[in-house]
Amino acid sequence: MPRVKRGKIALKRRHKVLSQTKGFRWQRKSKERAAKEALLHAGVHAFNDRRKKKRNFRKLWNIKINAGVRQLADENVRSYSKFIFQLKKSGVEINRKMLAELAEKHPEVFKKILTEVTA
């Protein structure tokens, strides 16, 4: 009988795992068991950090809006929370990302929104 070579799929899977851990340190890049463990943890961290990214950007936008409000507003609306309250009360529907962009790069437009809201 002719010789049968096996394990093509298993070898392919192992090679894939090791190629995904390229750039990892120590045994995690070269030994299959350590590499598999490292990939599992990397996947968990990647998933969690995609959620954290959204939180961090919202915090950053709030900080930028607050800084813009404190620079440009009058005595009535001198904080982020009062500004957002006035926005909702006046029915202006613009998201925080755009407000932060305006506060940072286009302060004259942000000033117009402020005067519109406080009036």
Q: What is the 3-state secondary structure (H, E, C) of the chain?
A: CCCCCCCHHHHHHHHHHHHHCCCCCHHHHCCHHHHHHHHHHHHHHHHHHHHHHHHHHHHHHHHHHHHHHHHHCCCCCCCHHHHHHHHHHHCCCCCHHHHHHHHHHCHHHHHHHHHHHHC
What pLDDT is attached to residue 118?
Answer: 84
The answer as to whether 38 is a domain residue is: yes
**What global pTM score does this model have?**
0.77
Domain count of the chain? 1
The answer as to whether 1 is a domain residue is: no
The CATH number of whichever domain residue 94 belongs to comes to 1.10.1900.20
The answer as to whether 106 is a domain residue is: yes
Domain coverage including residue 85? 9-118
What pLDDT is attached to residue 4?
Answer: 84
The answer as to whether 4 is a domain residue is: no
Over its length of 119 residues, how does the chain's per-residue pLDDT go in tens digits?
888 888 899 999 999 999 999 999 999 999 999 999 999 999 999 999 999 999 999 999 999 999 999 999 877 788 999 999 999 999 999 999 999 999 999 999 999 999 999 87
What pLDDT is attached to residue 114?
Answer: 92
What pLDDT is attached to residue 101?
Answer: 97
Of the chain, the end-to-end C-alpha distance in Å amounts to 92
The answer as to whether 2 is a domain residue is: no
